Structure 1
Amino acid sequence: MTATPDSGLHTALLAATLLAPWLALAVLAFTRATGRALLLPLAPVAALLAALVLPDGTALTAALLPAGLSFGMDATARVFLLPAALVWTLSGWLACQLRPEQARSPLFAALWLLALAGNLALILAQDLLALYAGIALMTFAALGLIVFERTAEALAAGRLYLVMMMLAEVALFVAIAALVTDAGGDTRFDAAATRLPGPVLALLALAFGLKLGALGLHSWLPRAHPVAPVPASAVLSGVMIKAGILGWLRLVQPSADTIGSALPPLLVVLGVAGALYAALRGLACRDPKVLLGWSSVSQMGLLTVLAGLALITGEPAIAAISVLVIHHGLAKAALFLGVGLLGAAAGRRRTGIWIGLWLPALALAGAPATTGVLAKSALDLAVAATGQGAGLTAALHLTGLASALLMLRFLWLTRGTPAPDTAQAPAVGRYPELPWLLLLGAVLLLPWLLFQGAPVMAAAATLSGQAAAALPLAVALPIAVAASRWPGATQRATGLRRYRPSFGFRAKNVPAGRPLAFHLAVWERHLHAWRLIGRAVVLVTLALGAAIGLGLTR
Structure 2
Amino acid sequence: MHTALLGAALLLPWLLLAVLPLARGSGRAVLLPVAAFPALLAALLVPEGTALGLPVLPAGLAFGMDATARAFLLPAALVWALSGWMAARLRPDQAGSPAFAALWLLALAGNLALILAQDLLALYAGIALMTFAALGLVVFERTAQALGAGRLYLAMMLVAEVALFVAVAALVAASAGDTRFDAVTAAVSGPILALLALAFGLKLGALGLHSWLPRAHPVAPVAASAVLSGVMIKAGILGWLRLVAPAGDAFAPVLAPLLVGLGLAGAFYAVLRGLATGDPKVLLGWSSVSQMGLVTVLAGLALPAGAASAAAIAAIAVFVMHHGLAKAALFLGVGLLGASAGRRRRWVWIGLWLPALALAAAPGTSGVLAKAALDLAAGAAEAGSAISALLYLTSVASALLMLRLLWLTRRVPVPEPGAAPLARGYPEIPWVLLLAGVLVLPWLSLRDTPMVAAAASVSEQLGAFVPIVVALLIALAVLRWPRVLRLAPDLRRYRAAAGRPVAALTARLPGPVQWANWERHLHGWRLIGRTVVLV
Same fold (TM over 0.5): yes
Q: Establish whether residue 420 from structure 1 lines up as the match of residue 449 from structure 2.
A: no
Q: Which residue is 1:456 aligned to?
A: 451
Q: How does 1:38-53 map to 2 (within 5 A)?
A: 38-53=30-45
Residue 314 of structure 1: SS of its match in structure 2?
helix
Question: Partners of 2:482 and 2:309 in 1: how far apart?
Answer: 49
1:467 positional shift: 2.0
Q: Which residue is 1:59 aligned to?
A: 51
Q: Which amino acid aligns with 1:90?
A: L
RMSD: 2.5
What does the per-residue CA deviation read over 1:10-40, in whole Å, with 9 as the maximum and x for residues that have no partner? Answer: 1111110001101110111001211111000
1:411 positional shift: 0.3
Q: Which residue is 1:538 aligned to?
A: 532
Q: Establish whether residue 30 from structure 1 lines up as the match of residue 25 from structure 2.
A: no
Paired positions, count: 507
Q: Give 1:171's match in structure 2, choosing from 160, 163, 182.
A: 163
Moved over 4 A (4+): 254-257, 488-493, 501-507, 533-537
CA 1:137–1:487 in structure 2 vs 1: closer, same or farther (change >3 Å)? same
| Conservation of the 8 A alpha-carbon contact between 1:114 and 1:141 | yes
Q: Which amino acid aligns with 1:68?
A: G
Q: Give 2:92's match in structure 1, choosing from 91, 96, 100.
A: 100
Question: Partners of 1:76 and 1:530 in 2: how far apart?
Answer: 41
Question: Partners of 1:234 and 1:272 in 2: how far apart?
Answer: 24
Q: Give 2:81's match in structure 1, choosing from 89, 99, 106.
A: 89
| Conservation of the 8 A alpha-carbon contact between 1:366 and 1:400 | yes
What does the per-residue CA deviation read over 1:245-271, in whole Å, with 9 as the maximum and x for residues that have no partner? Answer: 000000113557535531111000000
Q: Establish whether residue 287 from structure 1 lines up as the match of residue 279 from structure 2.
A: yes
Q: Which residue is 2:336 aligned to?
A: 341
Q: Give 2:201's match in structure 1, choosing from 200, 209, 214.
A: 209
Q: How does 1:18-417 map to 2 (within 5 A)?
A: 18-61=10-53, 63-255=55-247, 257-312=249-304, 313-417=308-412
CA 1:539–1:176 in structure 2 vs 1: closer, same or farther (change >3 Å)? farther
Question: Partners of 2:86 and 2:373 in 1: how far apart?
Answer: 31
1:361 positional shift: 0.0
Report which stretch shifted further, 435-444 or 470-479. 470-479
Give unmatched runs, 5+ long, in structure 2: 502-518
Residue 262 of structure 1: SS of its match in structure 2?
helix
Question: Partners of 1:336 and 1:400 in 2: how far apart?
Answer: 21
Report which stretch shifted further, 451-460 or 60-69. 60-69
Question: Partners of 1:391 and 1:266 in 2: how far apart?
Answer: 15
| Conservation of the 8 A alpha-carbon contact between 1:258 and 1:264 | no
| Conservation of the 8 A alpha-carbon contact between 2:158 and 2:531 | no
Question: Partners of 2:530 and 2:202 in 1: how far apart?
Answer: 13
Q: Establish whether residue 10 from structure 1 lines up as the match of residue 2 from structure 2.
A: yes
Q: Which amino acid aligns with 1:249?
A: L
Q: Which amino acid aligns with 1:250?
A: R
CA 1:506–1:177 in structure 2 vs 1: closer, same or farther (change >3 Å)? closer
What does the per-residue CA deviation read over 1:168-200, in whole Å, with 9 as the maximum and x for residues that have no partner? Answer: 000011111101101100000011111111000
Q: Which amino acid aligns with 2:471?
A: A
What does the per-residue CA deviation read over 1:512-540, in whole Å, with 9 as the maximum and x for residues that have no partner? Answer: xxxxxxxxxxxxxx9xx969x98884378
Question: Partners of 1:530 and 1:385 in 2: how far apart?
Answer: 47
Question: Partners of 1:410 and 1:299 in 2: how far apart?
Answer: 15
Identity of aligned residues (%): 69
1:131 positional shift: 0.4
Question: Partners of 2:16 and 2:89 in 1: how far apart?
Answer: 19
Question: Partners of 1:341 and 1:180 in 2: how far apart?
Answer: 47
Question: Partners of 1:21 and 1:283 in 2: how far apart?
Answer: 39
Question: Partners of 1:408 and 1:122 in 2: how far apart?
Answer: 35
Question: Partners of 1:63 and 1:228 in 2: how far apart?
Answer: 38
Question: Partners of 2:139 and 2:485 in 1: how far apart?
Answer: 31
Question: Partners of 2:432 and 2:89 in 1: how far apart?
Answer: 13
What does the per-residue CA deviation read over 1:382-415, in whole Å, with 9 as the maximum and x for residues that have no partner? Answer: 0011143111111111111110000000000001
Question: Partners of 1:503 and 1:142 in 2: how far apart?
Answer: 37
Question: Partners of 2:431 and 2:441 in 1: how far apart?
Answer: 15
Q: Which residue is 2:506 aligned to?
A: none
Q: Which amino acid aligns with 2:464?
A: A
Question: Partners of 1:394 and 1:163 in 2: how far apart?
Answer: 37
CA 1:534–1:284 in structure 2 vs 1: closer, same or farther (change >3 Å)? farther
